Amino acid sequence: MNLRAILCALVLALACGRPESPGGPKSAGSGAGSSGSASMAKLMKDRNLSEADVTAALKTYTPSGRKDEFLVFASGGHSGQLLVIGVPSMRILKYVAVFTPEPWQGYGVGDKGSAEVLKEGSRHGKPITWGDMHHPALSETKGEYDGEFVFVNDKANPRIAVINLKDFVTEQIVESKLIEADHGGAFVTPNTEYVIETSQYAAPLGGAYADLKEYNEKYRGAMTFWHFDRAKRRIIPDESFAIEFPPYMQDLADSGKLTSDGWAFCNSINTERATGGVLEGNPPLESGASQNDMDYLHVVNWRKAAEVAKTKAKVIAGMRVIPLQVAIDEGLLFFVPEPKSPHGLDVTPDGEDLVVGGKLDTHATVFNFKKIQGLIAAKKFEAKDPYGVPILPFAESIRGQVELGLGPLHTAFDGDGNAYTSLFIETKVAKWNVKDLKLIEKISTQYNIGHLVAAEGDTVAPKGKYLIAMNKWALDRFNPVGPLLPQNFQLIDLSGDANGGKMQVLYDLPIGLGEPHNAQMIRADKIKPWNIYKPVGLDAVTKEKSPFAVEGGKERVERKGNVVDVYMTAIRSHFTPDVVRVKEGDKVRIHLTNLEQAHDATHGFALNSYNINASLEPGKHTELEFTADRAGVFPMYCTEFCSALHLEMAGYFLVEPKKK
């Protein structure tokens, strides 16, 4: 579109008026039109905007009250939280508390339910107060997002969390005691039977000690299949299993689908098994780990493994583990050489091909699942790795390679047979055709793109339209905020209209809380969250009515010995009781129910000096437990501006000193 066309379109839009636009009479006639275009031109000049800028603005600007077409669930990196972002507006809607306390949501600041979830995520009993979130995975049904749950991993302390999209609340964290770091997770199987978590840095399984001299013999990797029970909304560790891997660094994983359903895949690096130790006379880890021209793509028959795990697994650190030799004997694990230090691994929407990006290679390599299966069936192995895992011939496993540029990492797909691969070193996105392996075009991003996410791009039915480049340090993109740089999410238009069929960057969204890695983008109408908690007294973690839910009129304080139970309600604009008297040293349990059922009637509950802030959405019940170990007068008040008398929604918590 040229400038005239844009202006005409804009004027037309103004002239027609929008039914949802609030306020203002509908303008009509040429008079309004010409003054509109004149002021547009002036605005563009004043703000130094090009035609492309205006197109981008028109494609992303979302008037107040208008909703987004897609939602993105993005890793919040080191913050340990999950970001929810609307597309195309790129408005941030929520930071969901997952691995770290979050005061607004009352997560880990006094509330017993969330404290228990965080406690599940402690490491060998030690509380972990951060996370290194990499890969969110939305739950799937028949390979399509169903909008019910999202799973995320923590690379540093290998954990998987389950977030319920009915209320965007983290309900469970499972800790893997088997491995010491993960990366190939969270990825789900097409019906979310399993959430895959693959180790990254090899270590003795189960947290044992062995010196690095014994690396080859005692260090191992593993791919864990956490069984998800949808009806129970939980991962069931006892119904989960893992497969022991050689001590390579396993990297990204993906689950097969359609043609390749029942199989899972992961990359590996460091098949050299370098261990570093520069002061001990060894080459540095990164050069030791970059000697081989090929590493190994791991091909795993998880459906068969689930059967084998029933009889032939041994339990390590509470997890059923299929020993490597059993995996080899049963035909559960095969390797295919893959070019130098690969990173991303993405299964195509039809499940036929696997795209692998080699960081130190200029190609994306397209492995073909049927070819791999043919070789396995014919037992056509070219060699075995040092642990006896059969290796399939590379040339006969691939459909081809496509030269893309420097540092190909991750690949996303649209619905028209195109793939989009991030080029980390070139800091570009390469668009190419999966069928004929032809590069179509490249677009620059700012800067150092890692993952990219396309609308439902890793399901069996990608939607195309939008892509987000998840770039690392944003250098010169935003106002400087000190040496630690924000990351940059760039929204890219894939539709090609208005840009000669080419991709166009529409929007830069700085991410200011940690390095996000991956994200998933889902059609917004698939997410159907609750507006309120119903019935009144619902517990957000158990999703059941709390046995301690308090009814209006039944508020009371009960004392048994030194245990004080406070049955409290919140409703605009008071807590009942609003005065609580206890004695120093008492164990206090506040059972607190928000009686409201109106959509916008959230209250908070802050208690001075006791590190407590609860979030009480309409109908929610919260349990607060603490020891009143400090005598004094402590105001308690509502932390959400809930009504005209919000400031008066307060009371006193009196702790009478012990008699000396």
Question: Which residues make up the interface to ligand RUQ (CB under 6 A)?
Answer: 134-135, 183, 252, 343, 409-410, 450-451, 517-518
Tokens representing residue 344 in the block: 């991303």
Cβ distance to ligand CUA smaller for residue 21 or 573:
573
Q: How far is the CB of 410 from ligand RUQ (least distance, A)?
A: 6
Query: How does strand 294-301 pair with strand 428-433?
Result: unpaired
Cβ distance to ligand CUA smaller for residue 59 or 603:
603
CA–CA distance, 287 with 267 (Å, rounded to integer): 18
Q: How far is the CB of 120 from ligand RUQ (least distance, A)?
A: 23
Q: How far is the CB of 408 from ligand RUQ (least distance, A)?
A: 11
- Asked whether the beta carbons of 240 and 257 are under 8 A apart, the reply is no
Q: How far is the CB of 55 from ligand RUQ (least distance, A)?
A: 29
Cβ distance to ligand CUA smaller for residue 61 or 641:
641
Residue 409 interacts with, from ligand RUQ, ligand CUA, none (CB under 5-8 Å by kind) = ligand RUQ
The tokens 């770290």 sit on which residue?
100
Q: Total residues contacting ligand CUA (rule CB under 6 A)?
A: 8
C-alpha closest to that of 537 among 449, 454, 596, 608: 596
Dihedral sign for Cα atoms in the order 317, 318, 323, 327: negative
SS3 state of residue 128: coil
Residue 343 interacts with, from ligand CUA, ligand RUQ, none (CB under 5-8 Å by kind) = ligand RUQ
Stretch binding ligand CUA (CB under 6 A), from 90-98, 165-173, 284-292, 633-641:
633-641
CA–CA distance, 275 with 122 (Å, rounded to integer): 28
**Residue 638 interacts with ligand CUA (CB under 6 A): yes or no:** yes
Dihedral sign for Cα atoms in the order 15, 17, 21, 22: positive
Residues 581-620, one symbol each (x = binds ligand CUA by CB under 6 A, - = not), give ----------------------x-----------------
Instruction: From residue 528, give the alpha-carbon distance in Å to each of 164, 343, 525.
Output: 11, 34, 7
Residue 646 interacts with, from ligand CUA, ligand RUQ, none (CB under 5-8 Å by kind) = ligand CUA
Q: How far is the CB of 113 from ligand CUA (least distance, A)?
A: 20
Give, as ranges, the residues between 553 and 582 that touch ligand CUA (CB under 6 A).
573
Residue 431 interacts with, from ligand RUQ, ligand CUA, none (CB under 5-8 Å by kind) = none
C-alpha closest to that of 182 among 150, 140, 154: 154
Residues 641-660, one symbol each (x = binds ligand CUA by CB under 6 A, - = not), give xx---x--x-----------
Tokens representing residue 227 in the block: 């069984």
CA–CA distance, 473 with 486 (Å, rounded to integer): 6
Q: How far is the CB of 200 from ligand RUQ (least distance, A)?
A: 9
CA–CA distance, 606 with 653 (Å, rounded to integer): 11
The tokens 């066309």 sit on which residue?
5
Secondary structure of 28-79 in the HEC alphabet? CHHHHHHHHHHHHHHHHHHCCCCHHHHHHHHHHCCCCCCCCCEEEEEECHHH
- Asked whether the beta carbons of 557 and 589 are under 8 A apart, the reply is no
Residue 252 interacts with, from ligand CUA, ligand RUQ, none (CB under 5-8 Å by kind) = ligand RUQ
What Rg, from alpha-carbon coordinates, does the chain have? Answer: 28
Q: How far is the CB of 436 from ligand RUQ (least distance, A)?
A: 27
SS3 state of residue 372: helix
Q: Among 640, 651, 653, 655, which residue sits at the site for ligand CUA (rule: CB under 6 A)?
A: 640
Residue 499 interacts with, from ligand CUA, ligand RUQ, none (CB under 5-8 Å by kind) = none
Cβ distance to ligand RUQ smaller for residue 167 or 361:
361
What string of DSSP letters covers 100-112?
S-BTTTTBSSSBH
Cβ distance to ligand CUA smaller for residue 252 or 606:
606
Phi, psi of 16 (to 5 degrees): -75, -25
Residue 451 interacts with, from ligand CUA, ligand RUQ, none (CB under 5-8 Å by kind) = ligand RUQ
Residue 638 interacts with, from ligand CUA, ligand RUQ, none (CB under 5-8 Å by kind) = ligand CUA
Cβ distance to ligand RUQ smaller for residue 59 or 451:
451
SS3 state of residue 216: helix
Query: For residue 560, with 0-12 CB atoms within 10 Å meaning exposed, 13-18 middle and 19 or more buried, which class applies?
Result: exposed
Residue 518 interacts with, from ligand RUQ, ligand CUA, none (CB under 5-8 Å by kind) = ligand RUQ
CA–CA distance, 256 with 353 (Å, rounded to integer): 9
**Residue 519 interacts with ligand CUA (CB under 6 A): yes or no:** no
Stretch binding ligand CUA (CB under 6 A), from 108-116, 283-291, 449-457, 640-648:
640-648
Q: How far is the CB of 641 from ligand CUA (least distance, A)?
A: 6
CA–CA distance, 433 with 422 (Å, rounded to integer): 14
Q: How far is the CB of 639 from ligand CUA (least distance, A)?
A: 7
Phi, psi of 436 (to 5 degrees): -100, 5
Residue 603 interacts with, from ligand RUQ, ligand CUA, none (CB under 5-8 Å by kind) = ligand CUA
Residue 59 interacts with, from ligand RUQ, ligand CUA, none (CB under 5-8 Å by kind) = none
Cβ distance to ligand CUA smaller for residue 333 or 638:
638
Q: How far is the CB of 574 from ligand CUA (least distance, A)?
A: 8
- Asked whether the beta carbons of 181 and 250 are under 8 A apart, the reply is no
- Asked whether the beta carbons of 347 and 357 are under 8 A apart, the reply is no
Query: How does strand 241-245 pair with strand 319-322?
Result: parallel
Cβ distance to ligand RUQ smaller for residue 105 or 422:
422
Q: Which parts of this chain interact with ligand CUA (CB under 6 A)?
A: 573, 603, 638, 640-642, 646, 649
